[in-house]
Amino acid sequence: MPRLLLLSLALPLLPALAADPLQITLAGDSTVAQHPTDKTQAGWGVALPHFLRPSVQVTNLAKGGASTRSFRTAGYWEKVLATRPDYIFIQFGHNDQPGKGPDRETDPATTYRTELRRFIDEARAIGATPILVTSVARRTFEKNGSLTDTLKPYAEATLAVGKEKAVPVVDLHRTSYLLFSQRGEKFCQLYAPDPKDKTHFSHEGAHIMARLVAEGLNTAVPALAPHLQLLPIPPPNLPFDLTLHTVSKGYDGKTCWVHPRAGAIPGPTPTVVMTAQKLLLTGSDVFYELNDTRTSDLGKTWTPLTPHPDTLGRRTEPDGTIVAACDFTPKWHAASGKLLGVGHTVLYQNDKVVPDRPRSTSYSTYDPATRQWTPWTTLQMPADQPDFFNSGAGCSQRFDLENGDILLPIYCKAKAAPYYSVTVLRCRFDGTTLTYLEHGPPLTLESGRGVYEPSLTRFKDTYYLTLRNDTAAYLATSTDGLNYTPIKPWRFDDGTELGSYNTQAHWVTHHSSLWLAYTRRGAHNDHVVRHRAPLFIAQVDPKTLSLIKKTETILVPERGARLGNFAVTEVSENETWVTVAEWMQTHAPHIIIPPENAFGADNSIYTARLHWKPIP
């Protein structure tokens, strides 16, 4: 399949822009307006500048309670025209509805359209470009949980007038309705200044609505695209250039791709083999056979995703229990000259994960000549260790020693034990069989489900281990790879908490610096499960064991779907990839993110590519 270039996160220089700021004036109601006397409330116009470059100046003349009719009769429209802006954004409808009184009400089939046409003609008469924005949806739900849509006639009228008058339209009604209906009534209270308010917005709600407007502008008004700032500006002087590429996209709403993880086979041009598997969207962690795709031209082209049911597929035990290999990560093993993929097993009965299940580390090797994998098998662990009843290396990042031994971090627990612990195994791999040799003391935490999904690296003779916990992310260090310091929570270098929790993190290791890839809260991402998007990266300070806050940048932007299950691939000395897919499940009440959704998530499989700059 062809590679699709999504965007460059390095943000190349824009064409020279006019010396004078671009002027935008907003005309609308309280869902757009400023609310200086109510600090709990804001319209989306207040947050819109967050998504615009400094080349844009916004004047917000929207007024609470205004309709298309009263905005004119009260003299507000005259003030809009007096600013003589380059663009006028126009959003009404809420106060045009029946029940608002004769001074405000309009009919969406007649008078509402007439008022919009007048706005358009008069804006054009002063040389301004009018932009219509459909009425942002209300958050009023029926008892059965469905979202009402009383503003639909006004949104449809706005779209019709836009088409008639050849005016760009940002369909905020559509995207906000999709978001609210997907998230449900309880969650939508986060976007309200008061839980009983179904129309107005808190500052967080205003921010999300402004984002939807800005993303709509990006496609509806191409002339404004150079003036938009949809992502934070990356910090200066990063040691890498960053580009984001799409390997595949699209899904059917029933299953989605998850766990895309890749290994690089060395050569003049490395061959990269990526595995991924389908997830049943109506289940919880219900995975099918592993598939693979490969590229021999550094991602210019990819082969179709190909299933391997005979070697990497599910197996049925005599009692009907299904066993699958999952959370699988390929990596080149230099000593054996083999691409070795390691994950763990999962057991299902009736498409549900078996509780208190035995688990093993699974592994398989890849033959580049035949493009086939060996049948997955499991690592044999000491039978006298009850803590290994449920043990596996799923989602973990291993480190291969110079002598060929493998330091493999796993998480494990005894039968019926409440907490997982983490330990690092030393294993040997002869090209065919992975053999346990020894393991280090366990790292424990009696909180949530304990610690799990560990990842390991080595940087300048020190080993670094990062661990997942339900409420925070932790790390520990070692001088020998087996014995670790007590775990400590991840923090930024200013002392604040990282905010990463209940998800994995992985290392990006370069000979000159150490980095961590992670997700976290606090990025206007409450609508994402466990705040698992966007995907960030920041440099690690080895002395303080903290993340250098000023180096944080986004690897993969969020589009409403989580990005928490990812992996890191060392493609070459000069290039590192981070691979991830949009996981198309979200919070209750509507678990499945439908193909049509507010932010355009489509189960894309991404490669975020770090191109390391030469060191002066």
Q: Which residues, at least 6 apart from 350, have a Cβ–Cβ distance to it below 8 Å? A: none
Mean pLDDT of the chain: 96
* Cα(419)–Cα(477) distance, integer angstroms: 21
Which among 512, 398, 546, 367 has a CA at the least distance from the CA of 465?
Answer: 398
Work out the number of other CB atoms within 10 angstroms of the CB of residue 319: 6
Q: For domain 4-227, give the CATH superfamily.
A: SGNH hydrolase (3.40.50.1110)
pLDDT in tens, 385-406: 999 999 999 999 999 999 999 9
pLDDT band at 16 (very low <50, low <70, confident <90, very high): very low
**Contact, 579 vs 567, CB < 8 A?**
yes
- Give the pLDDT of residue 68: 98
Residue 413: alpha-carbon gap to chain centroid: 30
17 has pLDDT over 90: no
Report field, pTM of the whole predicted structure over 0.85: yes
**DSSP code of residue 494:** T
pLDDT band at 525 (very low <50, low <70, confident <90, very high): very high
pLDDT in tens, 485-522: 999 999 999 999 999 999 999 999 999 999 999 999 99
pLDDT in tens, 35-46: 998 899 999 999
90 has pLDDT over 50: yes
460 has pLDDT over 60: yes
pLDDT band at 19 (very low <50, low <70, confident <90, very high): low
Which fold does the domain 241-612 belong to in CATH? Neuraminidase (2.120.10)
Mean pLDDT, residues 214-225 = 98
465 has pLDDT over 60: yes
Mean pLDDT, residues 305-331 = 98
* Cα(422)–Cα(445) distance, integer angstroms: 9
User: Angle CA(485)–CA(486)–CA(487) in degrees, nearest 5?
Assistant: 110
**Contact, 96 vs 104, CB < 8 A?**
yes
- What are the residue boundaries of the structural domains of the chain, listed by start? 4-227, 241-612
* Cα(553)–Cα(536) distance, integer angstroms: 6
For the chain, percent of residues with pLDDT exceeding 70: 97
pLDDT in tens, 322-354: 999 999 999 999 999 999 999 999 999 999 999
pLDDT in tens, 57-69: 999 999 999 999 9
- Give the pLDDT of residue 471: 98
Q: What are the two backbone dihedrals, phi and then psi, of residue 405, each rounded to the nearest 5 degrees?
A: -65, 155
Q: Is 119 helix (H, G, I), strand (E, B) or coil?
A: helix
- Give the pLDDT of residue 87: 98
- Give the pLDDT of residue 503: 96
- Give the pLDDT of residue 616: 76
pLDDT in tens, 568-601: 999 999 999 999 999 999 988 899 999 999 999 9
Work out the number of other CB atoms within 10 angstroms of the CB of residue 583: 24
Mean pLDDT, residues 139-153 = 96
Distances in Å between the Cα of 466 and the Cα atoms of 398, 487, 492, 509 are: 12, 9, 15, 13
- Give the pLDDT of residue 382: 96
240 has pLDDT over 60: yes
- Taking only Cα atoms into account, the Rg of the chain, rounded to an integer number of angstroms, comes to 27
Provide the token pair at 513.
Answer: 């610096």
Residue 299: alpha-carbon gap to chain centroid: 21
Entry field: residues in the chain: 616
* Cα(511)–Cα(505) distance, integer angstroms: 20
Q: How many CA atoms lie within 13 A of 375 on its CB side?
A: 4
pLDDT band at 14 (very low <50, low <70, confident <90, very high): very low
* Cα(169)–Cα(178) distance, integer angstroms: 17
State the chain's maximal CA–CA distance in angstroms. Answer: 85
Provide the token pair at 126.
Answer: 């002063």
pLDDT band at 13 (very low <50, low <70, confident <90, very high): very low
5 has pLDDT over 50: no
* Cα(75)–Cα(120) distance, integer angstroms: 17
| CB-based contacts of 14-17 (< 8 A; 24+ apart in sequence) | 14/53, 14/226, 15/226, 17/55, 17/226, 17/227
Q: Which residues, at least 6 apart from 489, have a Cβ–Cβ distance to it below 8 Å? A: 472, 473, 474, 497, 498
- Give the pLDDT of residue 252: 93
